[in-house]
Structure 1
């Protein structure tokens, strides 16, 4: 018993000391940050499987009344994630043509059954966006996270977000689970990340040398790296400001209408 307790992180011990369940702690954190962290994400932070972002660190410090260096020592001293450690070994295929990139991204979407995470604010390819909508319509238990980095760059993405909200209500639950999460990272210095990931595979598109808003190549990643990206995307969404109503989406400015 004592050995198990001593192996617990300070983050977990702080929660247990306050007699909070993971669900209680997530609710308390979200009340502070306005985010959408859930019990499974909190568990990943406590175990050190995932690193906690700046916003959620501040929220947990406030919730538990403890210093950051105490609560997150187990994360800051932890080994690199599986994605970081695997390096180029995680790459299944280099996608050197735009058509290959789009085909692989659509295949990742089509193959998602449990979780689908998409990040970035520059999507505009109709077939890709339509594939996301079709997959969500066909698989109601699939949990979808969409993380924007700043407002949508193109009208096509803004309209896609509206259609997602017409398909699913973020306030509803299916078997007790929220299945649509939409968030926007508004910090101007935040590094915009681009990827689509499911529980099985992921694609990271790479910005084109011919234009800031375009993508013409990328990498296809296998299951292990994809799972890491799913966790990263969920954490990013949990730290982001929620935009989970049609009015909230329509209020976002579009850079290229």
Structure 2
């Protein structure tokens, strides 16, 4: 967000009044929500650099025994407009009208990620794209990867991919104080599925086909500010999701058949 960073928010004061560190507050919140919020994300909420989602807002109101109007006023102040609010449609850098362009752009986003890589959805199956994600995780130990599922995998290729990620990294280990692999399953089962891939510098969002009624084989390539917003979206979703931290937990997710056929990453 633009403007000065706010450090004396009621949100932060509520934590300090209870003599909690950021790590301790995050642990208490996760017990209430079943999520995996970390100290870094909680600190961003406190300063107003990031906005808190509804599920975590409810948990924080319960934890601190304060209303949302008090706790999150510093986040909701319209004077703190985001750079994305100001840049508008200039963030759409390219319209992807062909399936091959869509896959190529998603591979480029995954391959170009250096700090954060967020992938959402349960329908991935394109091997070049999945391989690009695995390569980024394997080659860049400081890269933080968030993988958000909306229901069990729709294709066996995604289930294999998740197991491969767990072979490459242990989600319970930390690097520089941060867990660099976070896989979460959004519940309840009827939660609306989101489809995108985002890094700190670019993002791709698949769109309904321009060529017929079936599939999502088109999309938009977005610039840095929009990508930053989607990274936050994914981090928030992952923090509220049920963590999947072991191979047994992934294997227990039976591949779910059926549903609308989607081409490209979802």
Matching of residues 1-257 of structure 1 within 5 Å:
8-78=8-78, 81-208=82-209, 210=212, 214-256=215-257
- 1:23-69: CA deviation from partner (whole Å, max 9, x where unpaired): 22112212222211112211221233322122211221222122223
Q: How many residues align?
A: 252
C-alpha distance in 2 between matches for 1:196 and 1:90: 15
- Could you tell me whether the CA contact under 8 Å between 2:7 and 2:46 is conserved in 1? no
Q: Offset at 1:189?
A: 4.6
Instruction: Compute the displacement of 1:85 (Å).
Output: 4.5
How large is the Cα RMSD of the aligned pairs? 2.1
Q: Secondary structure at the match of 1:220?
A: strand
Instruction: State the shift of 1:83 in Å.
Output: 3.4
Question: How far apart are residue 204 of structure 1 and its match?
Answer: 0.9
Find the aligned partners of 1:171 and 1:7 in 2 and give their Cα distance: 29
Shift of 1:7: 7.1
SS at match of 1:145: strand
Relative distance call for 1:86 and 1:193 in structure 2 (3 A) is farther
CA distance 1:76–1:176, shift in 2 (3 Å): closer
SS of the residue 1:254 aligns to: coil
CA distance in 2, matches of 1:124, 1:50: 32
Structure 1 range deviating more: 41-50 or 130-139: 41-50
Distance in 1, Cα, partners of 2:51 & 2:224:
20
- Which runs of 5 or more residues in structure 2 are unaligned? 259-266
Scaled by the length of structure 1, the TM-score of the pair is 0.90
For structure 1, the 5+ residue unaligned runs are none
Local SS of the residue matching 2:175: coil
Deviation at 1:216, TM superposition (A): 0.9
Could you state the TM-score of these two structures normalised by the residue count of structure 2? 0.87
Deviations 1:163-212 (A, max 9, x none): 11111111112233211000011224533211111111111111336466
**Other structure's SS at 1:118 match:** strand
Structure-2 separation of matches of 1:167 and 1:7: 37
The alignment partner of 2:174 has SS state of coil
> Does the 8 Å CA contact 1:50/1:232 hold for their aligned counterparts?
no
Distance 1:102 1:7, change over 3 A: closer
Equivalents in 2 of 1:46, 1:164: separation in Å? 31
